[in-house]
């Protein structure tokens, strides 16, 4: 499902129950879904609106799934949001609702990061403090993340009119951005439309940042949000780029089948087909490691410049030595010295695990060697 919002309205509703599709009502979910910490960010928000959000998420989230609600006050000066709020939540929701107060105005992004630091559940949901939740909002989001921790789930959002509280349904949409880097609605991909299932998730390259759910550790792995982000709406674009550039986390460069001369991605297992030797001269060799340059079962990673698929060849059989040389530093890109292209990962329906190795114009993807073998002293 995707995210939508009318920024001119004061209140939004997440998956409002009156608008749930029939198929959504019929779905069943596992009993062992991960717990979630819900983080609300506010500054001088009306107390009634904040409490409406809190009541809504507590009342419409199964108690075994809701670990905590975290209210991050970004240095509000409204006195009603001080002692009155503290006393109310401590009496109504002791131990469940926590309040974090910034000593100075940090802004939306750094305030969210404060909530992430305090959160203790394996999954964290970030929301503006003027939302409502309806029964069944959490289970589909947590199910998607349980299936793959690298997913960031953007719930479908409808609108609550500020003057009547009437729920206004929004059409399903994906999100993109224009040349001014403003997030915008775009038509869902054709394959989604062809399915005819409005409950099916929509892949989307961008987001509207007022509402998203993410695995807590994975969010940290990809670098969170940029704490220096000062431009309004910048996180809508940034987070999508972070996800794109980290999409192969947990996968390793692998030799693949013995009779195939193509490198592949495969879940990391540390066996000989995933052992990599990066030599001082710039060779990237896959296979058994040893003291000699070219072992019988080792192959060199090659960019011959003719296509987008990196090859694996016997090092001594490479037509031009420059084709087998790469520049690499730990935590950085792998760049062909011959073509200037980078070894990167792209999504592909036809590839194993949905990921394909390619050599292409560098986009900022990074690689890491997990375990180093240091040369012995002589």
Domain parsing of the chain, residue ranges: 11-245, 251-360
Residues in the chain: 378
CA-wise closest residue to 62 among 39, 103, 25, 31: 31
CATH 3.90.550.10 fits 11-245, yes or no: yes
Q: Which residues contact 357 (CB under 8 A, 6 or more apart)?
A: 253, 262, 263, 264, 265, 309, 310, 343, 344, 345
3-state secondary structure 41-74: EECCCCHHHHHHHHHHHHHCCCCCCEEEEEEEEC
Higher pLDDT: 82 or 244? It is 82
Judging by DSSP bridges, how do beta strands 152-153 and 211-215 pair with one another? antiparallel
CB distance 39 to 108 below 8 Å: no
- pTM for this structure? 0.66
Report yes or no: 15 and 155 within 8 Å, Cβ to Cβ.
yes
Phi-psi region of 340 (alpha: psi -120 to 50; beta: other; left: phi over 0): left
pLDDT digits (tens, 9 = 90+) for 55-97: 999 999 999 999 999 999 999 999 999 999 999 999 999 999 9
Average pLDDT, the chain: 83
Please check whether the domain covering 251-360 is classified as CATH 2.80.10.50: yes
**C-beta atoms surrounding 178 within 10 Å:** 9
Cα 249 from Cα 238, distance rounded (Å): 18
Lowest mean pLDDT among 114-123, 196-205, 235-244: 235-244
- Which residues share a beta bridge with 159? 12, 168
**Using one digit for the tens of pLDDT, what is the confidence trace for 105-143?**
999 999 999 999 999 999 999 999 999 898 889 999 999
pLDDT band of 6, cuts 50, 70, 90? very low
């Amino acid at each position: 499902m995707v995210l939508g919002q009318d920024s001119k309205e004061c209140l939004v509703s997440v998956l409002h129950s009156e608008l749930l599709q029939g198929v959504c009502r019929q779905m069943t979910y596992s009993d062992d879904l991960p717990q979630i910490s819900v983080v609300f960010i506010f500054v001088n928000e009306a107390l009634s609106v904040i409490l409406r959000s809190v009541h809504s998420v507590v009342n419409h989230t199964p108690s075994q799934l809701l670990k905590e609600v975290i209210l991050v006050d970004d240095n509000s000066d409204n006195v009603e949001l001080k002692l009155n709020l503290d006393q109310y939540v401590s009496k109504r929701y002791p131990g469940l609702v926590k309040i974090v107060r910034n000593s100075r105005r940090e802004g939306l992004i750094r305030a969210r990061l404060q909530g992430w630091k305090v959160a203790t559940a394996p999954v964290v949901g970030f929301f503006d403090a003027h939302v409502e939740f309806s029964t069944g909002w959490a289970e589909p989001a947590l199910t998607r993340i349980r299936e793959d921790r690298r997913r960031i789930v953007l719930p479908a959002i409808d609108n609550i009119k500020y003057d009547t509280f009437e729920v206004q349904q929004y059409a399903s949409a994906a999100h993109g951005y224009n040349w001014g880097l403003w997030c915008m609605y775009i038509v869902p991909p054709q394959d989604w439309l062809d399915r005819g299932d409005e409950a099916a998730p929509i892949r989307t390259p961008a987001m509207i940042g007022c509402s998203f759910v993410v695995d807590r550790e994975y969010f940290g792995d990809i670098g969170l949000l940029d704490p220096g982000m000062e431009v309004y709406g910048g996180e809508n674009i940034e987070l999508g780029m972070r996800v794109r550039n980290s999409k192969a986390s947990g996968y390793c460069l692998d030799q693949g089948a013995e009779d195939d001369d193509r490198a592949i991605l495969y879940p990391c297992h540390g066996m000989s087909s995933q052992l990599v030797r990066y030599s001082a001269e710039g060779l990237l060799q896959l296979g058994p490691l040893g003291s000699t340059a070219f072992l019988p079962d080792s192959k060199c990673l090659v960019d011959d410049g003719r296509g987008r698929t990196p090859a694996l060849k016997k090092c001594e059989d490479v037509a031009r030595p420059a084709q087998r040389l790469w520049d690499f530093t730990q935590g950085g890109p792998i760049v062909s010295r011959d073509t200037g292209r980078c070894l990167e990962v792209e999504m592909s329906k036809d590839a194993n695990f949905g990921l394909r190795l390619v050599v292409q114009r560098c986009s900022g993807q990074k690689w890491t060697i997990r375990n180093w073998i240091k040369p012995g002293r002589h």
